[in-house]
Amino acid sequence: MRLLLVDDHAIVRAGLRMLLESQPDMEIVGECENGQDAIHRALEWKPDVILMDIALPDIPGYQATRAIKQQMPNVTILALTMHESDEYFFEMLNAGASGYVPKRAAPTELVNAIRVVYGGGVYLYPSLAKTLVKDYLTRAEQGDDQTAFDGLTEREREVLAWIADGLSNQEVADKLIISVKTVERHRANILAKLGLHSRTELVKYAIRKGLIQVES
C-alpha cells in the first residue's frame, strides 16, 4: 500500500518512515509538513492511506482531511496525533477519517491500524472508542431513530453488524453464504434506509444500536 506522511516534525516523519518501510506491504510515497501541501501532494501522488497529524502549522489536520476527501473520496485517512480530546476526535471522524491513533500507541498498533483502514475497516484506539460509544448513547437518548432501524430486515441487520465489525463484502458473503453482489445490494439498502453515507457512519450507528461491541 502507498502511504503519505503528514506531520510538521521531521523527526516524527523519519521514525514513521523507518517503521513503515520495514513492512513488506507498505511503501512511503511522500511526506508533507503542512496541510495545504498535503492537499496538493495527495492529488499528485495518489496514496492509498494518509497518516494525518492534527496540529499542523497552517491549517488543522481535519480541514486538510475534509478537503482531500472532497477531491479524493476513495483515499483512506488515518489520524495519528498527540491530541486525544473529544473535540479533535469528532472533528477528524466527521471530516472523513477512517481511524484515530494517538502517538503514544505501540508501533505494532499503528501498523495494525493502517492495515485495518486500508482494508476498508475503521480503527479506533480503545480509549477513544469509549468516547464514541458514550456520545452516541447520549444522542440515542435524545432522539428516537428506532423507526428507521425497525425498517431493516433481519438479513440487513446481520449484514450491518458484520460490515460495521470490519469485514469486507467478500468476507460477509462467505459468512452468510450469499454472493458479493447480494451483500452490496443489502449494504446499499441499509445506507438508504438509515440515511447514512459511509462505513464510518455505519460503524457509529451499529455501536449505538449495540450490534457490535467495543473492547475496553
- Which domains occur in the chain, in start order? 2-124 (3.40.50.2300), 132-208 (3.40.50.2300)
Alpha helices, DSSP H, located in 151-211: 154-164, 169-176, 180-194, 199-208
User: What is the number of other CB atoms lying within 10 angstroms of the CB of residue 83?
Assistant: 18
Q: Do 45 and 32 contact (CB within 8 A), yes or no? A: no
Angle between helices 154-164 and 169-176 (to 10 degrees): 130
Q: Is 195's pLDDT higher than 90?
A: no
Which pLDDT score is estimated for 135?
58
pLDDT digits (tens, 9 = 90+) for 107-159: 999 999 999 889 887 787 766 665 555 555 455 555 545 556 777 888 988 88
Q: Is 95's pLDDT higher than 90?
A: no
Which pLDDT score is estimated for 53?
95
- Taking the C-alpha atoms of residue 196 and residue 113, their distance in angstroms, rounded to an integer, is 23
Q: Which three cell numbers stand for residue 95?
A: 471530516
pLDDT digits (tens, 9 = 90+) for 161-193: 887 777 778 888 999 999 988 988 888 888 778
Tell which wins on pLDDT, 203 or 114.
114
Q: Is 216's pLDDT higher than 50?
A: no
pLDDT digits (tens, 9 = 90+) for 63-76: 999 999 999 988 99
Which pLDDT score is estimated for 208?
67
**Strands 49-52 vs 76-81: parallel, antiparallel or unpaired:** parallel
- Taking the C-alpha atoms of residue 81 and residue 89, their distance in angstroms, rounded to an integer, is 10
User: Of 154, 147, 161, whose CA–CA distance to 205 is shortest?
Assistant: 161
Q: Do 202 and 160 contact (CB within 8 A), yes or no? A: yes
pLDDT digits (tens, 9 = 90+) for 28-64: 999 999 999 999 999 999 999 999 999 999 999 999 9
- Taking the C-alpha atoms of residue 41 and residue 39, their distance in angstroms, rounded to an integer, is 6
53 CB-contact burial (10 Å; exposed 0-12 / middle 13-18 / buried 19+):
buried
